[in-house]
Structure 1
Amino acid sequence: MTKHPGLALGGSPDGIWGSDIHREERCRALATRGAGQGARGVVDAGHFHERSRPRRMIAAHLPSLDAMSPLHHDPSGASTGVAGRSWGGDGMPTVDGACGVTVDASLEKRILEQEVARWRLRAEQAESILRTSPAAIFLCDKTAERSRTFSEAVAHMLGYEPDHVPQLGEEVLPDRMHPDDTTRMALEFERDLEVLEDGEQLVFEYRMRHRSGEWRWLEARCVVFSRTEEGQLERYVGAVQDITERKHLAQTMRDREAALQKANAELEQRIAERTLELRRKSALLESMINNLPAAFYVKDTEGKFLLVNRRTAELMGVTRAEAVGKSVADFFPPETAAPWLEAQQEILAGGEHEVEEIFVQEDGPHIYLSIGFPIRDSEGTIFAIGGFSTDITERRRAEQEREELQARVIEAQRAAIRELSTPMIPLAKGVVVMPLVGTVDSARAQQIMETLLAGVVKQQARVAILDLTGLTAVDTRIVDALLRAARATRMLGAEVMLTGIKPQFAQVLVQLGVDMSGITTEGTLQSGVAAAMGWLQGRGRSAQDGSERARAR
Structure 2
Amino acid sequence: MSDGSDIEVLRIERARLSERLSDLLGVVLAVASRDYSARAHVAQSGDLLDALAAGLNMMVEELEGSVAVVDNILSVMADALMVITVDGSIKKANAAACRMIGAGEGEIAAIPAERIFGGAAAGRSIKELAGTFAGSGGEAEIITMRGTRVPVSLSVSTMFGSSGALSAVVCVARDISERKRIEAERARLEEALKKQARAMLEMSTPLVPVGEGIVAMPLVGAIDRGRAQQILQELLRGIAAHRASVAIVDVTGVAGVDTEVAGAIVRAVQAARLIGARVILTGIRPEVASTLTSMNIDLEGVVTRATLKSGIAFAQALLEGGGRPRP
Q: TM-score, normalised by structure 1?
A: 0.32
- Say whether residues 1:450 and 2:233 are aligned partners: yes
State the 1:501 CA deviation: 0.2
Alignment equivalent of 2:98, drawn from 312, 317, 323: 312
Shift in CA distance, 424/356, structure 1 to aligned 2, threshold 3 Å: same
2:239–2:277 CA contact under 8 A, matched in 1: yes
Distance 1:427 1:355, change over 3 A: same
SS at match of 1:368: strand
Instruction: Return the match for 2:252 from 453, 469, 472.
Output: 469
1:366/1:539 Cα in 2 relative to 1: closer, same or farther (>3 Å)?
A: same
Q: Which residue of 2 aligns with 1:507?
A: 290
Unaligned runs of 5+ in 1: 1-288, 300-304, 344-353, 372-386, 545-553
Give 2:308's aligned amino acid. L
Look up the SS of the partner of 2:206 in the other structure: coil
Amino acid at match of 2:321: G
**Is 1:489 aligned with 2:275?**
no
Asked whether the 8 Å contact 1:430–1:461 carries over to 2, the reply is yes
- How far apart, CA to CA, are the structure 2 residues paired with 1:543 and 1:355? 70
CA deviations on 1:145-165 (whole Å, 9 max, x unpaired) are xxxxxxxxxxxxxxxxxxxxx
Closer/same/farther in 2, CA of residues 460 and 306 from structure 1, 3 Å limit:
closer
SS of the equivalent of 1:539 reads: coil
Structure 2: runs of 5 or more not aligned: 1-74, 84-90, 114-124, 156-170
Partner letter of residue 240 of structure 2? V
Letter of the structure 1 residue corresponding to residue 259 of structure 2: T
Q: Does the 8 A contact of 1:358 with 1:365 survive in 2? A: no
Deviation at 1:358, TM superposition (A): 2.2
- Comparing both chains, which one has the higher relative contact order based on Cα–Cα distances under 8 Å and sequence gaps of 6 or more? 2
Task: Report if aligned partners of 1:297, 1:312 keep a CA contact under 8 Å in 2.
Answer: no
After TM superposition, give the deviation of residue 513 of structure 1 in Å: 3.9
In structure 1, how many angstroms separate the alpha carbons of the residues matched to 2:260 and 2:141?
Answer: 54
2:199 is aligned to 416
Is the CA contact (8 Å cut-off) linking 1:308 and 1:323 kept in structure 2? no
How far the C-alpha of 1:409 sits from its partner, in A, is 2.1
Corresponding residue for 1:392? 176
Fraction of identical pairs, as percent: 33
The range that moved more, 404-413 or 433-442, is 404-413
Cα drift, residue 538 of structure 1: 1.9
- Secondary structure of the residue aligned to 2:321 is helix
Distance 2:244 2:93 in 1: 78
Q: 1:509 deviation in Å?
A: 2.9
Matches within 5 A, 1:328-407: 333=126, 336=129, 357-359=139-141, 361=143, 366-369=150-153, 389-392=173-176, 396=180, 398=181, 401-402=184-185, 404-407=187-190
TM-score, normalising length: structure 2: 0.52
SS in 1 for 2:309: helix
Task: Deviation per CA, 1:126-161: give whole Å up to 9, x if none.
Answer: xxxxxxxxxxxxxxxxxxxxxxxxxxxxxxxxxxxx
| Cα-to-partner distance string for 1:352-411 (whole Å, 9 max, x where unaligned) | xx875525648697532479xxxxxxxxxxxxxxx9845435863x45654553454233
Relative to 1, partners in 2 of residues 1:506 and 1:307: Cα closer, same or farther, differing over 3 Å? closer
More strand by share: 1
One-letter amino acid matched to 1:367: P
Any idea what SS the aligned residue of 1:320 has? coil
CA distance in 2, matches of 1:314, 1:489: 63
Q: CA deviation at 1:498?
A: 0.7
1:463: Cα distance to partner? 1.5
What is the RMSD of the two structures over their aligned residues, measured on CA atoms?
A: 4.4
Matched, 1:539 2:322: yes
* Contact 1:356–1:367, Cα closer than 8 Å, also in 2: no
Mark the CA change 1:503 to 1:370 in structure 2 (over 3 Å): closer, same or farther. Answer: same
User: Taking structure 1 as reference, are residues 323 and 534 closer, same or farther at Cα in structure 2, changes over 3 Å only?
Assistant: closer
Given residue 368 of structure 1, which amino acid in structure 2 is its aligned partner? V
Contact 2:152 2:176 in 1 (8 A): yes
Query: Tell me, what secondary structure is at the counterpart of 1:515?
Result: coil
Q: SS of the residue aligned with 2:253? A: strand
Closer/same/farther in 2, CA of residues 480 and 535 from structure 1, 3 Å limit: same
What is the DSSP-based 3-state SS (H/G/I as helix, E as strand, rest coil) of the residue aligned with 2:294?
helix
Q: Distance in 2 between matches of 1:447 and 1:478?
A: 12
Q: 1:452 Cα deviation (Å)?
A: 0.6
